[in-house]
Amino acid sequence: MQKVTVIGILVFAVAIHSGAQPSRRSNPIPVRDSLIKQDSVILNSVREMATENLPIISVDASEINDKNFQNISTPVTSTTDVFLSQASFNFNPVRFRLRGYDTDNSITNMNGITIENLENGFAFTSLLSGFNDVLRNREVAIGLQNNSFSFGGIAVSSQIDSRPQKFRKQSTVSYAFADRGYVHKISFTHTSGIDKKGWSFVYSGSRRWADEGYVPGTYLNAWSGLIGVDKKIGLKQDLSFVAFGTIAENGRQGFAVAEMDSLAGSHYYNPFWGYQNGKKRNANIVKINQPYLILTHEYRIRNSSSFITALAYSFGDHGSTFLDWYNAPDPRPDYYRYLPSYQTDPYQKFLVQQTMMHNENDRQINWQRLYDVNRGSMETIQDANGITGNSVTGKRSHYVLAENIAHTTKFDINSTFNTVAGKHLQLSSGVSYQFQKSRYYKKLDDLLGGDFFVDLNQFAERTFPSSSTANQNDLDRPNRILSQGDQYGWDYNIISSKAKAWLQTAFTFKRIDLFFAAEGSDTKFIREGNVKNGLFPGNSMGPSPAFHFIGYGTKAGITYKINGRNYVYINAAIISKSPSSQNVFVSAKTRNEAQSNLVNENIRTAEAGYILHAPKVKLRLTGYFTRFDHQLDVINYYDDDLLNYVNYALSNISKLHYGTELGIDAKLIGGLSLKAAASIARYYYDSRPTAVVTVDNTASVVAKDILYLKNYFLGGMPQQAYSLGFQYQTANQFYLNISGNLFKDRWMDINPVRHTYRAVQNTVYQTAQWNDILQQTALQDQFTVDVSGGYTLRISKKRNRHKTFLNLNGSINNLFNNQNIESGASEQWRFDFSTLNTGKFPPKFYYYNGLNFMFSSTIRF
Amino acid sequence: MKKGLIFLLTGFIIVGSVLMEFGSCKKKFDEPPAFIAANISANNSIKALKALHSMGGLEQVTADMVISGIVVGDDRSGNLYKQICIQDSTGGITVNLGGSNLYVDYPVGRQVFIKCKGLYLSDYNRLIQIGLIDNSIPSSPSLSAIPTALFDSFLVKGSFGNAIIPKSVSVNQLNDSLQSMLIQIKDSVQFVATDTALSYADVSASKSSVNRTLSDCSGNKIVVYTSGYANFAGVKTPTGKGLITAIYFVYKTAPELILRDTGDARLIYPRCAANKITIASLRGLYSGSDVLLGPLSINGIVISNSSNLATGNMIVQDGNSGIDLFFGSTTSTAKFNPGDSVLVDLTGGTLTNYKGMLEINLPATALPAKAISTGRSITPQITTIAQLLNNISSLENTLIQINNATASSTSGTTYSGNKTLSDATGSTTLYTSPTASFSGSTLPISCENWVGYANIYTTVQFQIRNTNDAFASTGCSVNKNFTAVYAFSGVTTTSGTTDPTKLPSAEGVNFGSFIAVGLGSNSSASGRFSFASWPLGATNGSNSFTGTLSATQYYEITITPAAGYQLDLKSLSFIFQRSATGVRQWAVRSSIDNFANNLTASISPANSAILANTNNTFQIVDRASITAETGCNIVFGSNHTNLTNPVKIRFYGFNAESTSGTFSLNAVSITGSTH
């Protein structure tokens, strides 16, 4: 025991736990075994470790279309579903999402609480990385399957049970070495099991770091931890408390145009870093620190009824840094005007090309120059801080490092009731209330050699040169002198609340299972400005009008059990989903203005499938059809032609998703088995949305466009993905898996603005120029091969009746080093209306890593 | 339980310390070292570099020339765009650099080295520049800016904060060798009057650049050129004089100055003292076409009332000459009153002729802020209207006095508008503007003395300043001439002895009707006054007369001067007619001498049928004539002037040939005047 404590103090490790119970689709009562069996399918766990290790690529969202661009959430989608378990790992290089749905269609619950950002519906999945061992206990429902803890999203709904009582006594120490998102990871988990008095504890922690990841200039520094305490109260009640969080800092990789990649000679060119004092310094760093505290109470009324109530409180910051500047040349090395393609003279083009090709420093941020400029600009600010006659003299920074901060406080309460009534009926219901207050503001992180910065809006100065108020970000404190750590620019709160109630009845008969479910929700949110913006003095400070939406949904399904192994099922749902605040406020950074035409999103979806669950073969074949209507979206980006921030408020977006997915896991002879997965689908736009374009500086409507988007494909994931692999496994000791993956039918994310009358009115129908503007670029098909293997060694010490194991695992992905896989490819938002030349703002890409590996060793005892 | 607690405690400590450690462990990046100047030095001068260029050409620098200069002009204010100007001791050159906000890297005062090999020299309308060639249109290569990515290939940054002393030159010494250098005009300069207090450039949407002209006190001029994109484009040019610092540019053959910002033009001192000139000399400068005035000023006394003039006008007099000053139709001159002494700077004004009157067009800024002194008086020159009309060019816009003149109006009873002013010598227009403060006052109709000034507005007009300018006159004798005609149209053969015809009327005099005394009871004809029974004394066919007039047989009228008037009778004429045996002689006598003597008689126009005798009797020569004879004329003597009592005039006929012979009067016309 002492040794265990010593080990626990010295080393953190993650225990590779078994325990992921297959979700028994036909049994709505959640599976909560108190004894967790050892997982014989080690591959899954290894893959989990590998997938949560994939690089966290969050790029400057203003540059690209894909709003689903967030930190990868693979631990959450880990499941034993025969299709998804393969797809979520094998298809990850091309950012596969189940059925092409946006991420806000998935639900992630932990210990009875939904972990999600009320403002956009995304799960805070980055919070759940780093301690996957204790997250193994889950109920997962795929597609329209019913579950016991919620009405469900239409993609993946999962509930993680990390309450300490669920784990048996075990400790795990692990070390992994990789070249992906992290280079080193050490982790430690200890679960105590339930002692005689009914107490159980768990703690798990890890440290992941990489001084430089696969892509130059990226790095990771992350600490994660979870602690939990659980007390059984009598026979019927449990009270658990779990606290977890991740503190991480991650230097990011940026999208780049093909021209920069070819100048750099690599698809992994990263414009976000530069040398400072000989060390790589990344200007775009994501920092997260958002602990969650969940208190869960379970009351087992009878053996067949349970009442779970959970309370959660979360607080913390999410920040991302970026270079900010005032009246100075753009510091970004890949700014389009610095590139050879912008120069008109062929010799100049050549000179620039040669310079950039042969000097790495010319392709990266020149930090020395930023410091030199700041140190050399001695300036006097008149009427500083709004005091007439007060002049401040000093080195005025023209370049600073700023941070975009979201400070979030969240409070949730959720009650779920499950009971069995009679032989056939299972009743589930729940009510929940969520409250979230996020404060968004810009913070001055680093003055880069200057003495002060001034809180002014240079874009407003360009539009209103003679006004002394339009350029103030804060009219109550004009010309504010800023020091390191000060807030400046925007400062506003989004306060949201959502009350939900749902009810589900599930009937189990001999041959037929059927269920009905319904849900209603009441969502409210407001924006509250904390500063009075000089451009919108009447509309920026103080609360906006309250937005109030009612949402609802109904779902039903029927499963016909042909026999104990074969099932066919059909499910359908109609859902009316409230808009999220991120798609309602046109320019939340500056003012309270909202989109007009605020309506709920309509989802109509149906799926039908066949499941085979035999000892040797597991198979699932599902066809689905889903229609989204009346979606809203708001995009803000900096338009180089207008020299201004521009807001696009889109409404009436419709999307159609239909296709089939197939997963097969078939045991062949000996220890050999065949694994295959396929997703063949079509995802495309099915309406002509309306776009209202406003210039941020004036809120004037620049254009009202109809977007001719019908039948254009949704970009960002393959419409066809195939995986075929073979696995060889000896009993609990050794396994080897090799699989090949093929991605086809991949399309670049389009810029909807090109599909307007405004964009093509000056070109001739169906000429080469017309086609160039409108055609959606198809990406090349890609092929990868992955290998993984592992070995388990039993080190029996005959203590605690449990054996001590040593696991060695490794995986090599992208065996053939295919460096051409575009993980993200999208047309830029900027489009040159005057020359109609799509080459002026070419598409931006980022690429999946070439050959990458991970090796780990774990001791479980 | 104990185990559990220990585990939990351990866990808390570990997790907690980890979190704390991470929280305090914020990696702070080492600050890079301060700027270290590169080890490079110039091997050529800017002058040598520019010598490689011939105007209009595009030459590549092929030699390994390195020049160095201090930045004297950057794009901080936006007046320069995609350019910086550098200079060394030999000269300056403009460098074309791509991108905006170049000043953060190359601010004024920074030393810059340029490795010229591979760069191109050209000129923009003779302003020499260095940059790169743009061959995108091969038929017309041009000079383009060096792209940002190549800055460090050609430019090497040096130290900050180097001082530059602007070169002091006078306007006449400006020449091409100073191109792109920082200069200061040796003499103080000021913006010409028409370019002061106007924005440096165009701030409307088109943001065009504007030239503003500077002048030194000797009149040498140089242009300041400002771009509409400069952040000081909307600032108004200073009105004073002082030293100007700027970068010297050329545009074709015209030199121009480029300001870095408004601090370069500290024109805060009083403007050039303009030379004083008399108004008389000033008026003499005009010789038929507009004259642009140099630095001149006049000192005059205001004689006009601003409310009686169109806005912007003011009339000043100096000595015996006056002139109208026009400061623009929106500039009010109301702050000046007659009697104010003002000093006006005429520099840049235009001496012109407006509708016949000499005036000087000046900018609004030339209106003096206040009078030097007030209450100055000018003695008006007394003149008659006839003299005024003859000498208008020398009397124009000076203070004059017209005595004994009367105003009359054909419309309205107030001053407003055009009225007629008449004196004994003639008449002219009295004009009062409807905006004048006294335009609503009643126009005096009596004879007064008038003070004011006259000028030409197409025709001559006279204006006063206020109602006190028209005051009572003692010598006012404005005669009201009259011509009274008795037409006898109402006389019939039954109308009796009194002529019933409507009496003539004239101002200041009342006329009585003709009566026939001692003669018949009715006229023998209608339309004329014809009675018989005159004294006999003539025989038909003979020219010897034996009779005399009868004191009891006559025609008589009474003429009475009206109250307050005096009557002057001048002359009287009538048409004579007789019947065949009518009177052969007749005479006219007046009550002034109690009908003692005949009034002076004459025949005018000449009529051979009648004559006037030396004893002032009329006589019919042609004994046979019975037709109406014109020409009988009486001239009243000086005893018929200034009459205040009624006067009777009697017409005596005598030496008739028979008692039934008639003597008739017609068209008796009396001329005279009242006053």
Which of A345, A375, A376 is nearest residue B136 as measured by Cβ atoms?
A: A345
Specify burial of residue B57 (Cβ count, 10 A radius: 0-12, 13-18, 19+). Answer: exposed
pLDDT at A53: 45
Residues from chain B contacting residue A376 (CB–CB below 8 Å):
35, 104, 107, 110, 160
Binning pLDDT at 50, 70 and 90, where does residue B648 land?
Answer: very high
**CB A693 within 8 Å of CB A644:** no
CB within 8 Å: B15 and A203: yes
Which of B99, B104, B203 is nearest residue A373 as measured by Cβ atoms?
A: B104
B567, pLDDT greater than 90: no
* One domain, residues B491 and B628: yes
A58, pLDDT greater than 80: no
pLDDT at A67: 38
Average pLDDT for A305-318: 94
**Quick one: closest CA in A to B138, which residue?**
A345
* One domain, residues B511 and B613: yes
DSSP state for residue B146 in the 8-state scheme: B
Q: For residues A672 and A15, what is the distance between their CA atoms, to the nearest angstrom?
A: 27
Q: Where are the beta strands (DSSP E) in B349-446?
A: 350-354, 357-361, 381-382, 399-408, 417-423, 426-432
* One domain, residues B591 and B648: yes
* One domain, residues B180 and B212: yes
A11, pLDDT greater than 60: no
Give A508-565 as a 3 state SS string: ECCCEEEEEEEEEEEEEEEEEECCCCCCCCCCCCEECCCEEEEEEEEEEEEEEECCCC
- CATH of residue B417: 2.40.50.200
| Residue B558: domain span | 481-674
Give the number of domains in chain B.
Answer: 5
Q: For residues A196 and A198, what is the distance between their CA atoms, to the nearest angstrom?
A: 5
Question: What are the tens digits of pLDDT across the range A81-122?
Answer: 889 888 888 888 888 888 999 888 988 999 999 988 888 877
Specify burial of residue B618 (Cβ count, 10 A radius: 0-12, 13-18, 19+). Answer: buried
A312, pLDDT greater than 90: yes
Q: Residues B271, B272, B277, B283: what is their CA dihedral angle, to the nearest 10 degrees?
A: -70
pLDDT at A801: 60
* One domain, residues B428 and B488: no
Average pLDDT for B252-277: 87
* One domain, residues B499 and B629: yes
Q: Where are the beta strands (DSSP E) in A640-698?
A: 644-667, 672-685, 690-695
**Residues linked to residue A778 through DSSP beta bridges, in sequence order:** A747
Binning pLDDT at 50, 70 and 90, where does residue B224 land?
Answer: very high
Does residue B187 fall inside a structural domain?
Answer: yes
Does residue B15 fall inside a structural domain?
Answer: no
Does residue B6 fall inside a structural domain?
Answer: no
pLDDT at A57: 38
Quote the mean pLDDT of chain A. 85
CB within 8 Å: A377 and B107: yes
Residues from chain A contacting residue B107 (CB–CB below 8 Å):
376-377
DSSP state for residue B178 in the 8-state scheme: G
Quote the mean pLDDT of chain B. 88
DSSP state for residue B494 in the 8-state scheme: T
Structure tokens given for B554: 């006559």
* Contact status of A19 with chain B (Cβ, < 8 Å): no
* One domain, residues B390 and B354: no
Does residue B67 fall inside a structural domain?
Answer: yes
**CB A739 within 8 Å of CB A725:** yes
**CB A792 within 8 Å of CB A806:** yes
Instruction: Please state, for a pLDDT cut of 90, what percent of chain B lies above it.
Output: 46
More confident residue, A29 or A592: A592
Average pLDDT for A834-847: 87
Question: What are the tens digits of pLDDT across the range B476-488?
Answer: 665 678 888 998 9
Q: For residues B333 and B342, what is the distance between their CA atoms, to the nearest angstrom?
A: 12
pLDDT at A40: 35
A389, pLDDT greater than 70: yes
pLDDT at B18: 52
A27, pLDDT greater than 60: no
Longest Cα separation, chain B: 184
Question: What are the tens digits of pLDDT across the range B156-177?
Answer: 999 888 989 999 999 889 999 9
pLDDT at B16: 53
CA angle B61, B67, B71 (to 5 degrees): 120
3-state secondary structure of B225: strand
Last residue of a domain, one of B110, B132, B157: B157
* One domain, residues B426 and B555: no
Alpha-carbon Rg for chain A, nearest whole angstrom, is: 28
pLDDT at A36: 30
Q: Which amino acid is at B347?
A: T
* Contact status of A281 with chain B (Cβ, < 8 Å): yes
Cβ–Cβ contacts within 10 Å for residue A345, how many? 19
Q: Which helix (H) or strand (E) holds B10?
A: helix B2-24
Binning pLDDT at 50, 70 and 90, where does residue A276 land?
Answer: very high
Question: What are the tens digits of pLDDT across the range A187-196?
Answer: 999 999 898 8
- DSSP string covering A702-771: EEEEE---TTPBP-SS-SEEEEEEEEEE-TTSEEEEEEEEEEESEEPBP-GGGGSHHHHTTS-TTSHHHH
Which CATH topology does A2-326+400-447+484-860 take? Maltoporin; Chain A (2.40.170)
- CATH of residue B670: 2.60.120
- For residue A537, cis peptide bond before it (omega within 30 degrees of 0): no
A611, pLDDT greater than 80: yes
Residue A350 sits at φ, ψ, to 5 deg, of -65, -45
Give the range among A77-86, A155-164, A673-682 with minimum mean pLDDT: A77-86
pLDDT at B369: 85
Q: Which residues contact A452 (CB under 8 A, 6 or more apart)?
A: A392, A394, A395, A396, A397, A481, A482, A483
pLDDT at A13: 31
B674, pLDDT greater than 90: no
Question: What are the tens digits of pLDDT across the range A342-380?
Answer: 988 888 899 999 999 999 999 999 999 999 999 989 999
Q: For residues A719 and B473, what is the distance between their CA atoms, to the nearest angstrom?
A: 114
Binning pLDDT at 50, 70 and 90, where does residue B25 land?
Answer: very low
Average pLDDT for B57-76: 94
pLDDT at B651: 92
- CATH of residue B247: 2.40.50
pLDDT at A54: 42
Specify burial of residue A34 (Cβ count, 10 A radius: 0-12, 13-18, 19+). Answer: exposed
Question: What are the tens digits of pLDDT across the range B374-420?
Answer: 999 999 999 999 999 999 989 999 999 999 888 888 888 889 999 99
* One domain, residues B460 and B518: no
* Contact status of A818 with chain B (Cβ, < 8 Å): no
The C-alpha of A108 sits at a distance from chain B's nearest C-alpha, in angstroms, of 25
Q: For residues A727 and A672, what is the distance between their CA atoms, to the nearest angstrom?
A: 5
CB within 8 Å: B7 and A227: no
Residues from chain B contacting residue A276 (CB–CB below 8 Å):
29-30, 32
Average pLDDT for A694-700: 81
Which of A207, A329, A465 is nearest residue B231 as measured by Cβ atoms?
A: A465
Question: What are the tens digits of pLDDT across the range A416-455?
Answer: 999 998 888 999 999 999 999 999 999 999 999 999 999 9
Interface of A with B in 193-232 (CB under 8 A): 195-197, 199-201, 203, 205, 207, 223, 225, 227, 229
* One domain, residues B55 and B186: no
Nearest Cα neighbor of B259 from B348, B195, B166 is: B166
Question: What are the tens digits of pLDDT across the range A706-717?
Answer: 999 999 999 888
pLDDT at A257: 93
Does residue B30 fall inside a structural domain?
Answer: no
The C-alpha of A36 sits at a distance from chain B's nearest C-alpha, in angstroms, of 19
How is chain A split into domains, by residue range? 2-326+400-447+484-860
Does residue B76 fall inside a structural domain?
Answer: yes
**CB A605 within 8 Å of CB A626:** yes
pTM: 0.71
In this predicted complex, what is the ipTM? 0.75
More confident residue, A24 or B501: B501
Give A120-139 as a 3 state SS string: CCCCCHHHHCCCHHHHCCEE
pLDDT at A88: 81
Q: Where are the beta strands (DSSP E) in B217-262?
A: 221-226, 241-251, 254-258
* One domain, residues B593 and B627: yes
Average pLDDT for A516-544: 93
Residue B660 sits at φ, ψ, to 5 deg, of -95, 5
* One domain, residues B547 and B466: no
Residue A336 sits at φ, ψ, to 5 deg, of -65, -25
Specify burial of residue A299 (Cβ count, 10 A radius: 0-12, 13-18, 19+). Answer: middle
Binning pLDDT at 50, 70 and 90, where does residue B5 land?
Answer: low
Interface of B with A in 205-244 (CB under 8 A): 231, 234
Average pLDDT for B581-588: 90
CB within 8 Å: A203 and B157: no
Beta strands at A399-421 and B417-423: parallel, antiparallel or unpaired:
unpaired
The C-alpha of B24 sits at a distance from chain A's nearest C-alpha, in angstroms, of 12
pLDDT at B19: 52
Does residue B3 fall inside a structural domain?
Answer: no
Structure tokens given for A180: 């992906």
Cβ–Cβ contacts within 10 Å for residue A199, how many? 21
More confident residue, A319 or A733: A319
More confident residue, A34 or B464: B464
**CB B236 within 8 Å of CB B261:** no
Q: Which residues contact B345 (CB under 8 A, 6 or more apart)?
A: B193, B271, B274, B295, B296, B297, B366
For chain A, report the end-to-end CA distance as a whole number of angstroms.
Answer: 11
Residue B140 sits at φ, ψ, to 5 deg, of -135, 85
pLDDT at A717: 83
pLDDT at B428: 92
CB within 8 Å: A355 and B4: no
